[in-house]
Structure 1
Amino acid sequence: MYNRFEKLFTPFKIGSMEVKNRIVMSPMGTNSANIDGRISVDEIDYFEERAKGGVGMIITGCMFLTKDLAQGSLEGVLEDNYVIPTLTELCEAVQRYGTKICAQISCGTGRNAFPNMFGDPPVSASAIPSQFNPDVLCHPLTVEEIKAIMDQFAAAAKKVQMAGFDAIEIHGHAGYLIDQFISPIWNKREDEYGGSLENRMRFAVEIVQSIRSAVGKDMPILFRISCDHRFNGGRTLEESEKMLKILEDAGVDALDIDAGSYESIDYIFPPTYLGDACMAYVCKAARKAVSVPLLNSGNHTPETAVKLIESGDADFAMFGRQLIADPHTPNKLLENRRQDVRPCIRCNQDCIGRIVDRLTKISCSVNPRACFEKRFIIEETKSPKNVVVIGGGPAGLEAARVAALKGHQVTLFEKHGILGGQLTSAATPSFKRPLRDLIKWYEVQLAKLRVKIELNTEIKKDDDPILEKADRIIVAVGAVPTNPPISGIDGSNVIGIIEAHLNKELVKGENIVIAGGGLSGCDSALELAMEGKKVTIIEMRQSVGPDVMFINAAALMPMLEKYGVRLLPGHKVLAFDTRGVKAQKTDGSEVFIEADTIITAFGVKRNNKLFEDISSKYHIKTRPVGDCETVGNVGTAVRSGFFAGLAIE
């Protein structure tokens, strides 16, 4: 049978190392290492699962030279010899599947150190402001300190070679410390490490030379670099071409290239708004500049990965969060099972979001087993039960899937004619295609697992024949919109945001006002503005989108500006009428905003009445999940459903 992904499964060499296919796992920190610098057993299990899933090569998240340079990040530290045994265990766990493993080594984040992690002032090339706390000036490294770092690179490289890694990657990316030396916007030095291109590249070149002196000529060295910083004053693609050539001449065996910096942080963790293959554009120029193999990441799908390899502009397509979401993506593509690939929804909530917001290890919004591979094992039950799931949103779908995987007999009841719950409405914008893919993936999986699905069927508290026969009842009826008592809210020109998504014909006229500037209001505004509507967002809080994760907001807010969405924070809605909205500003003055259609996006509240009614009769066997239990996001809903399904023995 023809396999359109066949090109991804041809071998290719980096130096003397042959990689079995063209799929590489992008380097991503897990924040799961032990405090003494050793990587954790959880991280070994995490990478082993991705190797088992068929990826050609895994590049670890950056391991730091010393605890001081790590500045609080819970990644591996290569300072002491006692880290070698667990690194050896990692290498052999991955290599048993024929997957190569590459150790990414970093001398630190420099000015990009998170303020909740660093203690002393961050180090950098120059005395420049810290990225996240501009009041703190970085300590410029002295020449003596630079020489010490070179010795540390050599020592670290020797350790990972002894552990059994197949290759080493230097982290020169994203405005981290090495990038701060090679970029004139951050490097203000006047010694041999500053000024001319040759001088600014000296730090990076000496790192390559130090590693090469430690590991010999045969171990491949890769270099990760952003070719386009994407902010005013940052490095351009044209400037990077010269740097790539210098790195090649220094002995680098392959280049891991993309775009972005912490000033354009959405390109470091590209959300759904940036679309597919959002950084593939850097490859064509890089290919002209150098002859060594090129690796490229940035929201690749299986389809864009094939296109990239076929173009000849790069030799490896890199999957990052996609392999967190589905570690078995490569094997599924190899087996021509594209429909079984669980999509990454590019939400950033439970990967980088868990690290930044909660200071804990990564996981995944659609794959709660990520980084919990050996704790959350789905094992077949010895006593199948009759499980009833009420509600076909993400929590209900995941609960049904996991319960069915365990061997239970599952029936899912959904009162509407389609599955997806609130995902269905959230997924209507073109930039939210991954959500549509997720709904489709659930439909395919539940069909394969023979979950009985009853659409257009509303379960009520007195449906005792169904409820009595169930051994377990999972209530996943989601949330309902919050509608404050505002004059005119029942007007014919006022509609809820879910209706606006699902029934575009109800959004009449050209001037649209959205009352509520949370994530759903912003997404709806962008969707309508992209269709040519004139959109205004009214938000009572002092900023629009305060609940949008800052990385995602870095992409969303410029897009709202690009498409002309008018933002009115600090405006409290007083009344609606047929002509528009009356609002009050923070200074007490009143304004009127004209609108043909008003869309209410005041948020949601949990819909727990049915659970309470059923639980009053069947408490022991009834469990709420998703927004029905606690209003959250896709990730919290999926995790809630996962736990409920997994807990049924």
Structure 2
Amino acid sequence: MNNNFKHLFSPLSVRGMTMKNRVAMMPMGSNLAEHDGSMSDEHIAYYELRAKGGTGLILVENICVKYPEGSNGTTQLRIDKDCYIPRLFKLTEACHRHGACMGIQLNHAGASAMSARTGMQPVSSSVLPSKPGGECPRPLSREELESIAADYGAAAKRAVNAGFDLVEIHAGHSYLISQFLSPTMNDRTDEFGGCAKNRARFCRMVIDEVRSAVGPHVPVSLRLSVDELVEGGNTIDGCLEYLEYLNDGVDIFDTSAALNPSIQYQIDANYLADGWRSYMARAVREKFLKPTIAIGNIRSPQAAEDLLAKGDADLIGIGRGLIADPDWCSKARRGDVSSIRKCISCNVGCVGNRIGGNRPLRCTINPDVTGGDSYKRKKVTRPCNVVVAGAGTAGLEAACTAAEAGCSVTLLEKQDHIGGLSVEISKIPAKRRLADFPDYLRHRAAGLDNLTIKTGVDATADIIRSFRPDLVVNATGSVPLLPPIDGLHENLADRESDVYSILDLIRNIDRYPEDMSGKSVIVIGGGAVGLDVVEFFAPRGADTTIIEMMPSIGNGLDASSIASMKECMEKHKVKQLVSTALKKVNPHSFIVEQGGKEAELPFDYGFVCLGMKAHAPIWDALTRAFEGWDIGLLNIGDSVRARRIIDGTDAGRHMVLNTLEQLGYL
């Protein structure tokens, strides 16, 4: 064991449960369940992979205690009937064989349920919706609350029968119990509303039912939004007050944060530091002297170790980090930190797929969240020579995958460094985590003797043909989209002009002062690229305007990023002009059209961020050069169509393996 992480890899006992280390996998919705709410084989494989990777405690995602009224998510696990026990037992049995302790999170969605899915009006503490624009629920009666509390107890008993070592009650994140605890959603005037003791009453009923059902030897965990981070919501002090009435029934406090309107602090935005929420865990731990779980963008084993050493918490909660790398614990324990595939907090494959997308869980940087490294068992049966053009993330994943399959691989890169656009974008302070992915790929590539990387090589069809390849992968990426708008190209090329692209911002990132008060910045394009520019300049005090041709800004972004964007816009008074088209670019102003009327908008800095477009300058030449050759030709990533990192990573892994198989090499 690496002695640097002695706190992280020390055991912890709570009631009748002993965890082999201090890492807890946080409960995260996955949409991997079957339509009827049972565990799928893929679902079991997903959790078993994290148990095999050394995780000490696995908290299975929130499971419905009352269906359909309390259901949440497109395909959510259920535990409201005994028929769900066998598949849940198969899960715990599989994970226990790897030494993991198993917990499960019991939940009722309350007002966060959707009538379109449940077929009924949501229920809650009062008529207040769980988020702006959400459905208005109906208040629950005392009799109904007693019945729901009993449902929690019955669910807890089933969980123990299914082999779970711990039961967690979800009392945060704008779900039903949270809707009673939070003043923002509870305006009752009876015994369940008003003072902290009354607002905690329903949670206490649930705790008592659960404790009665599981007996004295099974630990009970309570997940909380310790600081709700919304106006009028519970602060840490408010949380500590209502916990006075719950503390004696709880063994572990799972200290989360935020509500639906502040989801960027519940599902951490990428700019938030490792362990930024640990002050919440420390406050609860110091007052109640019970084990707490600290969470919040914890990516580095050293950061986790430091939090434990300081006494902020007793357990480290890792969620998306274990989606990205199921072997996080094993690698940290060995001291092999450089090989950890650190989550970049992009929220694309996890949050974006699941919330709003209604798709199963995926990961931008881990192309197989349920299969892990099983692809490495596929090996070539005869010599295979692979050439990859472009060393961005898609090209690096393709090159590494082919080399791991036993191919002889040459990776050609025009620049003097590898990593592509990810390296460039990570120079924006709020995007610094993005650099972790190309760093991981660089480390992975360095360990492969059959992979040669040549930088400073402008790959051409003739150069590639000289390697006599059996498979060619084109991954030359994308460039900024710059349409033929009047004056755009001329002014971008003019040093006397104040018109720039995203690449200009990156190249000069250190030249902008921290205080830009009095400066006017106008950004054309309300997609992810334009928002990166806004989020760079607006906090520096610049008078910032964003212009979007579509009716809304941030199309296609995940829920956490949208919430973060809105917070930034409101806090820094960013002007938003939607349904507005750019007509002409002048050296120091934009001519735009809105509702048939033109206006001239002067600026000190004007950025045109209309997205990216595919850049595949050699693809046609490749198809001609290898016409008649019995080889494979692949075009992947942004060089096909400008998309997201997740699409290129997925293609770099799966399309390469599938093509090698089709060509008869695997």
Q: Which amino acid aligns with 2:235?
A: T
Correspondence list, 1:280-429, <5 A: 280-302=278-300, 303-373=302-372, 378-429=377-428
Across the aligned residues of Structure 1 and Structure 2, the Cα RMSD in angstroms comes to 2.4
- Superposed CA deviations along residues 481-510 of structure 1, whole A, max 9, x for unmatched, are 221222332221233312321344787995
Distance 1:560 1:190 in 2: 36
Residue aligning to 1:573:
582
Deviation at 1:298, TM superposition (A): 1.2
- Superposed CA deviations along residues 256-283 of structure 1, whole A, max 9, x for unmatched, are 0121110111122112033332322212
Q: Conserved in 2, the CA contact under 8 Å of 1:25 and 1:57?
A: yes
Deviation at 1:120, TM superposition (A): 0.9
Q: Conserved in 2, the CA contact under 8 Å of 1:42 and 1:373?
A: no
Correspondence list, 1:516-555, <5 A: 516-529=525-538, 535-555=544-564
Distance 2:350 2:329 in 1: 20
Q: Which amino acid aligns with 1:629?
A: V
Deviation at 1:532, TM superposition (A): 6.4
Distance 2:235 2:511 in 1: 45
Q: Which amino acid aligns with 2:7?
A: K
Q: Secondary structure at the match of 2:260?
A: coil
Q: Conserved in 2, the CA contact under 8 Å of 1:64 and 1:105?
A: yes
Q: Secondary structure at the match of 1:514?
A: strand
Q: Which amino acid aligns with 1:266?
A: Q
Deviation at 1:478, TM superposition (A): 1.3
Q: Pick from 603, 607, 622: which aligns with 1:614?
A: 622
TM-score with structure 1 length normalisation? 0.94
Q: Secondary structure at the match of 1:454?
A: strand
Residue aligning to 1:267:
265
1:183–1:504 CA distance, 2 compared to 1 (3 A): closer
TM-score with structure 2 length normalisation? 0.91
Distance 1:81 1:151 in 2: 15
Correspondence list, 1:201-240, <5 A: 201-240=200-239
1:347–1:54 CA distance, 2 compared to 1 (3 A): same
Distance 2:538 2:61 in 1: 38
Distance 2:234 2:216 in 1: 31
1:374–1:91 CA distance, 2 compared to 1 (3 A): farther
The answer as to 2:37 corresponding to 1:37 is yes
Deviation at 1:123, TM superposition (A): 1.2
Residue aligning to 1:96:
97
Q: Secondary structure at the match of 1:632?
A: coil
Distance 2:476 2:298 in 1: 34
1:585–1:53 CA distance, 2 compared to 1 (3 A): same
Residue aligning to 1:6:
6
Identity %: 32
Residue aligning to 1:158:
157
The answer as to 2:643 corresponding to 1:632 is yes
Residue aligning to 1:641:
652
1:211–1:496 CA distance, 2 compared to 1 (3 A): same
Unaligned runs of 5+ in 2: 661-665
Q: Conserved in 2, the CA contact under 8 Å of 1:275 and 1:431?
A: no
Q: Which amino acid aligns with 1:236?
A: T
Q: Conserved in 2, the CA contact under 8 Å of 1:257 and 1:295?
A: yes
1:3–1:72 CA distance, 2 compared to 1 (3 A): closer
Residue aligning to 1:243:
242
- Superposed CA deviations along residues 549-577 of structure 1, whole A, max 9, x for unmatched, are 33212113323554565544444223223
- The number of residues matched between the two structures is 644
- Superposed CA deviations along residues 595-633 of structure 1, whole A, max 9, x for unmatched, are 2x4332122222244223312443651011101123211
Of the structure 1 ranges 547-556 and 91-100, higher mean CA displacement relative to structure 2 is found in 547-556
Of the structure 1 ranges 539-548 and 628-637, higher mean CA displacement relative to structure 2 is found in 539-548
Unaligned runs of 5+ in 1: none
Distance 2:114 2:616 in 1: 39
Q: Conserved in 2, the CA contact under 8 Å of 1:273 and 1:556?
A: no
Deviation at 1:110, TM superposition (A): 1.1
Of the structure 1 ranges 400-409 and 486-495, higher mean CA displacement relative to structure 2 is found in 486-495
The answer as to 2:507 corresponding to 1:496 is no
- Superposed CA deviations along residues 1-29 of structure 1, whole A, max 9, x for unmatched, are 96432321111222232211111111111
Distance 2:120 2:643 in 1: 36
- Superposed CA deviations along residues 403-424 of structure 1, whole A, max 9, x for unmatched, are 1121211111111111122212
Residue aligning to 1:279:
277
List structure 1 runs of 4+ shifted beyond 6 angstroms.
505-509
Distance 2:370 2:115 in 1: 25
Q: Conserved in 1, the CA contact under 8 Å of 2:127 and 2:137?
A: yes
Q: Secondary structure at the match of 1:433?
A: helix
Distance 1:426 1:187 in 2: 43
- Superposed CA deviations along residues 440-465 of structure 1, whole A, max 9, x for unmatched, are 11111001113210111111233363
Q: Which amino acid aligns with 1:313?
A: D
Q: Which amino acid aligns with 1:581?
A: F
